[in-house]
Every structure is written in structure tokens, then in C-alpha cells.
Structure 1
């Protein structure tokens, strides 16, 4: 994705969408890289972010609308189709942008990349949509298909959510994935919470005593962030480290640690102790080290490149007092802020991931002290990656028992675990449970 200094916001948004949709790039990485390299104003950067994430979030819905006006999308030259998606998103969901302006800019985008005839085609399609309006998804007879189009989710995900939660709650979850994602931070020192809340014009998190949130705002640009007083972390993720009940002296393993939010949270409880943070990739470990340095926690964190499934081959028995396994998962709970996940996963992934999750638990448990605890967490809301993993682990490891967790918000309590679905508090979907090695 080559960037020009003179590139416009919509041209940049189009290039990012093409990278995601046609080349398999991750939206958040492609967007951050492109914005960092661009010379756009902050206002235009915000527009690029809105266009990219908005179009990806509504992609299934937009494609269904376009199918009524385009008989054969496979015959369209690139970038006609992504331009149509991008522009239709603006026309339907961004009321501050007049339709005529959005259409005019779409035609210019295509003309620059192709020719006048292609621009004329785009103009004709969009003018027809403007005149006739889009069809109503309520006309779709099959329930799963109708909900798929309404909430822009793959049919398999709609089906699985209904199976897991029932239709009423599943629809509430689906609808919540279209809400605007809010910004959240974790404060390092609870004594500074009130002053930081006022300084950052934020409000308290409903679920995390360490959390501050606001509907909009680049927390990372604040002086408090630069000084290491706060760090970016979703509210539900902030609930993980406290479950370890750290006293400060422990040797802790964070088995799947990048990008380091939970690692640094663990380290903030330690004085004489240390957290060993593992990841498969050096560049991800570098992110943890960078955050640790900003927060003043480098002396309490040791990073190491290692597959968590091989922990027992590297560390001796009874080496760790406490362990966090924030396991690799489908990431379904993150769909609001990582919308392209829905196009990367399928039902089979959940089966494969469960095997990996159990392998990790089986490896790390061999290095735990008697009486020690393992906190197991994921950013997904399906039992196959959560409760079923805990159940299968306990069946194969009779020397472990489940530790019931508690939280004041009882609606997130399920069988002694925390299960935060996205519609409850507008956070990421998350699961947290705990195991103890019997003495």
C-alpha cells in the first residue's frame, strides 16, 4: 500500500479497505500504519477511521443492498466494488455528508484509478440507489439470513449465537456489536483516579475500579498517558489481573502476554516479585517492553520468546506461584473494535482453538506450585472456548479444582466464572475463570 503525501482521506480509506478485503491485511494494523505515514489532518484521520471501520462493520449489510443493483459483481474492475461499499456506507450511515458529495467523490476516485466510463457506471449505480432507496432486510424470510444481513454477521455466527444464548439475547448481543466503540484506560494508581477523571474529562467504568472511559477521545495523546499514569486497556480486560490476588512477592507467568496490558497490570501489584511474559514473536515482546518502560515497570517484567505449549519443557516443576493463560481464541468478543474478525473466523476454528487452549493449560500447569492458581481468560463468548475448556481440563487433571470468582455485577456471573457479553456494559466480550492446584 503505497501512500502519497497528497492522498485524500477517501483515497486512503479505499487503499486500506483494498488491503483488508483483497490482500488479507488486518484492519487495525493497516489503518494504524497508514495513518502514521500520512500527512492528513486529525479531522481527516478521524474520517478515514470512520470509513474503514464503518464499512467493514456493515459490509454484509452493504453487500446485500448492492446485490439488488449490481447483477454480477465479479465482472467489476477493481476498485469499483470497494468504492461502492465505501460510498454506500457514507450515504446510509454518515448523515453529515450529503449524498451528492459522497457520489461525486466516488466518481472521482474511480476515474483516477480507471477511466471515465467506470466513473459513469459508479455514478449511475449510486444515483439509482439514491432515487429508489435500499431494500428492507425484514423481507428476508429465513431467520438466520435476515439477522445476518440486519446485523452484518456471518450466518454461522448468527446461528451459533442463537444456539448458545437463545434468540432474544443473541439479537441483543448482535445489535450491541453495532454500537460505537468507546475509549477506555486503566489507571496505575487508584489514589489518582479522581484527579485523572477530571483531567481527562472521563467517567468511571461500570465494571472495573481501575477504569476510566469516554465516548470519544485519543487517550494516547494525553499527558497522563505519556507520563505513564494510565494505559489503554478495555474495561473487561482490566478484571483479569485482580483475580490473581497478588501479594507482591510472587513469581508469575503470563503465558500469552502480548500486547502487554495484563502483563503490566500484574506487574503493578508486584514489588519483590516478577512476571515472566511469553510470546511467540519478538516484535510483540518489544511492545510489552515499550509499555513497561513507559509505566516504569521494567524491573518487574521479564520477556521471553516461547510457545506457551512448551512451558513445561523450559521451566521446572513448581517454578511459578501463579499463572495467567489469556489464551489465543476466536476473538468474537472484540468484533466491535476489530470488525474484520467476523470475516476471518469460521465454526471450525473454534474446535481447533480449543485443542490449542487445552495444550497450553496442560503445559503450564506442570510448572505451578501446589496451592497455586491459574487464571484462564479469553476475549470470546462461546462455551466451546471457555466453560468446555475448563471442564475438559479438570476431567484430565484431578489434582486441580475450580475456584469460584465473584463480582458485584452478578449479571456477568456464570457457574463461578465471569462471562461479560458485549451488550451488558458496552465492553469487549470476555471470559475469566480460575483453577487451583490442590495441595
Structure 2
């Protein structure tokens, strides 16, 4: 193959998809960040960017399903080169799940990519496997008799994780949750400005051509399907920001008043920080102290604060939350938020690679990290002040167990049950915590608890 043709193949969406999947699988790259980087560096058209995004997320979301489906035509995928497995997944995904793409286009690119990355023999093998898929389809996971394995393969979720959730929420809810993660996410917005109502904002978005509806979860939330919201004047003017609806529930739990001094101990990228700031008044000395360990993440908070016109109420510091106890005076904050580092299992719809890389030991390790942060900030809270602890995960070790252990070690703190007119009763635990699963409302999974210092 001449160099001109090789370079042409390397510029195709399918070739780029294989390379991205290789980096995610073998180098631990984050799919969303790498996708954005490639789309910009390759200067892809909106159409190609959309297809690349669909293929990459689709293959990651359904990796185990695709591998099972291809197993009828592949003797030992573990002995195959990694790029070859990803090429077959990319091709099979398009042939089975993207019905508008003609098979001949998929087959042609797959064979040419195999020639560039391998040789003529591998190209012939790829052609043979995909011709079988074209004739007979993928092996049907629905015929698996064992329920755990069927959910695991069908929803592409590791079997140990399926078993973990079955033990916690039962097989029926686990199945609903696991398959809900295969549904495409919508874009969630939060109304930042008090100058217009949510209904007015939705009306303006519809006039701009967006398919916008009110959130069923947050009173300041809006959902849109399709469209590039960053192009909207409402977004550019700082009236709206992108933030998942479940995380929009965190700031109100603090019951903030205009003159409060607030600590947001794990603040980046600033969605919750700017929401907190919207309740405060700079003229009344209300302020959020926002912490993060990394300078580049602090820059994101500052950028968000500037765009949303709340930079006069936000003060940022590059600081590990575990060191906060040494940086601020005891009992100096009215409310403290800890949106703790966690396994992120609530984000599996938007970051599907998470489900393949986490293990049960991670939950316990993070539990210890979370306790260290809570211990550090607890002495900084005024008596009568609220400590709001939240995560974007679904594990008892990082949620209920962390709060209960902290309470057990700090008799001066008591749990305050959370109330919401928007959430279904299933979203509240017996202790008064909020636990949202991805299939409950189509949002990220999220946990929120509130404690008061006596």
C-alpha cells in the first residue's frame, strides 16, 4: 500500500476510533478528554465528530457484549493483538447497532485499516470474521440461562459488579440500572441567573432551536436533547451552565444565607461551587472558599466563576482538603461541603470505561481517603453549621459507611434528614440520605448526606 493511501486511511473516523480505544484500554486514557483532543487536532467536521463519538462510546459501553457476540467467529481473542480486537469491535458495533451505515463501507475501511496496522493475512482474517457477522449476526446473549451472566454480558458490566449490586438493590433493580447505562445521555443544564425564570429560559432555548424541557429532579435544571449549548447566548452570557441534575441538589442542602462563609473542600471543576455562590451576596461578605489540589483545576473553577458572574463571591486555593485543618481557623465556616473523591460509578453512562477498571478494594481505599478529608474539615465548622457530604458513586463503602463511621468517631455531629419535593421516596434511604441511581431519572448516580455540628 502506498503512503498516500496509508495516510488517507489513518485520517478516517474508524482508524481514529481504534486508536482512541487502544489508548483508553491500554494506557488508562479518559475517553471524553481524548475524544475532545482528537476532534480538535484532526479538525473533524461536526458529522465526523459525531460519528467518532458514537463509535467510541458505543464500543466502550458494549465491549463485553461485542466480545461475546464475536466469540462464535474468534477462537481465542486473548491471543489476538489488542488493536485487532478493537478493530473488530468497532466494525461489529457499526454493523449491528448503527443501521444507517452500509456494511460495505464498514468492511472496506476495516480491511484497509488491517492492512495498515498489520498485513494482508490479517486483513483477510478481518474480512472473514466480518462477513460472518454480516451473514449470521452476533452470538445472542439473551439465550444465556444464568441471570447474573446474562445481565453481565448483555449490559456489558463485569460479573463481580453485577453481583455487588444484586446484593445491594436486588436483581430486578440491578438489571434496570445496568441496561439504562447503555442509553445515550442528554445534556443537563442549571439556571445560574436569578434574572429569568426556568420557564423563560426554556422558552428562549426553544426559540433558538433547542429541544429543552424542565428537569424532573432539580427546580433549576433543564434538559436538552441535541444541539451545541455552548453556542447559545444564554450560555455565553452566564445565565446557564452545564451540570448534571443530581449534583444540582447538593448546594441547596446547605441552606445557605447571603452572608455565609462556605468551604467547598473538593471543588473542581466548579459546577457546585458556582451554584453555592449564587445564594451568597458579595456586599454582605458572603463567600465560598474553593479548594483543589491542582492548579489547572483551580483555573477551571476561576473560568467558570468569571463566566457565571460570581467571581466576587469565590476565592480559590491550591490545597489538599486533607490539609485544610492547618490552613484555616477552627469553627470559621458556616457550611462545609465535601464532594469527595470516589470511584465514580454513578458516571458509568457518560464515562463507560469506569466499570471495567474499578475493583472492590478501590471502594475501601477511597472510604479511608474520604474519612481523612471529613476529619480534616470537621473542626473548621461552626457549631450549628451543616456539613454536606456527597459523592457521584453507588457503593455503600463510600457512602453510608463513610458517613456512619465519621459520625461514630465524632459525637458532636448528627445526621440531618434531607427533604425534596422533586424526588421520589425511593431516592431516600432510611437514614435520610439521598441515593440516586442512574436508572431512577436518567441522571448520573449520586449520594448526598447532611450532618449538623452540635
Place the TM-score, normalised by the shorter chain, in its bin. over 0.9
Shift of 1:115: 2.5
Equivalent-residue separation in structure 2 for 1:96 and 1:207 (angstroms): 34
Equivalent-residue separation in structure 1 for 2:8 and 2:158 (angstroms): 35
Pairing 1:273–2:289 present: no
Q: Which of these residues, 304, 312, 336, is aligned with residue 325 of structure 2? A: 312
SS at match of 2:69: helix
Shift >4 Å, 4+ stretches: 3-6
How many equivalent residue pairs? Answer: 436
Cα-to-partner distance string for 1:369-417 (whole Å, 9 max, x where unaligned): 0111111111112222111111111111110101111012223121211
Pairing 1:203–2:213 present: yes
Cα-to-partner distance string for 1:30-54 (whole Å, 9 max, x where unaligned): 1111112221111110111101111
Contact 1:251–1:322 at 8 Å: present in 2 too?
A: yes
SS at match of 2:238: coil
Contact 2:191–2:241 at 8 Å: present in 1 too?
A: yes
Q: Which of these residues, 78, 93, 98, is aligned with residue 94 of structure 1? A: 98
Aligned position for 1:253: 263
Pairing 1:29–2:22 present: no
Shift of 1:183: 0.7
Q: Which of these residues, 404, 409, 414, is aligned with residue 429 of structure 2? A: 414
Pairing 1:427–2:443 present: yes
Aligned position for 2:180: 176
**Cα RMSD (Å):** 1.6
Shift of 1:78: 5.1
Equivalent-residue separation in structure 1 for 2:82 and 2:401 (angstroms): 44
Task: State the TM-score, normalized to the length of structure 1.
Answer: 0.96
Q: Which of these residues, 124, 127, 150, is aligned with residue 123 of structure 1? A: 127
Aligned position for 2:51: 47
SS at match of 1:235: coil
Shift of 1:170: 1.2
Aligned position for 2:394: 381
Contact 1:183–1:217 at 8 Å: present in 2 too?
A: no
Contact 1:185–1:219 at 8 Å: present in 2 too?
A: no
Aligned position for 1:219: 229
In structure 2, stretches of 5+ residues that fail to align are 1-6, 207-211
SS at match of 1:433: strand
Taking the TM superposition and a 5 Å limit, the aligned residue runs for 1:3-402 are 7-77=11-81, 79-190=83-194, 191-201=196-206, 202-271=212-281, 272-402=285-415
Equivalent-residue separation in structure 1 for 2:109 and 2:13 (angstroms): 11
In structure 1, stretches of 5+ residues that fail to align are none
Shift of 1:129: 1.8
Shift of 1:98: 1.9
Contact 1:413–1:419 at 8 Å: present in 2 too?
A: yes
Shift of 1:216: 2.0
Equivalent-residue separation in structure 2 for 1:77 and 1:386 (angstroms): 40
The answer to which of 75-84 and 327-336 deviates more is: 75-84
Cα-to-partner distance string for 1:315-357 (whole Å, 9 max, x where unaligned): 1211111100001111111100110111121111111111111
Q: Residues 192 and 7 (structure 1 numbering): CA distance in 2 closer, same or farther, change over 3 Å? A: farther
SS at match of 1:324: strand
Contact 1:5–1:39 at 8 Å: present in 2 too?
A: no
Equivalent-residue separation in structure 1 for 2:414 and 2:279 (angstroms): 25
Contact 1:79–1:110 at 8 Å: present in 2 too?
A: no
Equivalent-residue separation in structure 1 for 2:400 and 2:82 (angstroms): 44
Contact 2:386–2:450 at 8 Å: present in 1 too?
A: yes
Shift of 1:146: 2.0
Shift of 1:79: 2.5
SS at match of 1:157: helix
SS at match of 1:329: coil
SS at match of 1:245: coil
Equivalent-residue separation in structure 2 for 1:19 and 1:348 (angstroms): 24
Equivalent-residue separation in structure 2 for 1:116 and 1:78 (angstroms): 18
Task: State the TM-score, normalized to the length of structure 2.
Answer: 0.93
Equivalent-residue separation in structure 2 for 1:300 and 1:6 (angstroms): 48
Shift of 1:76: 3.0
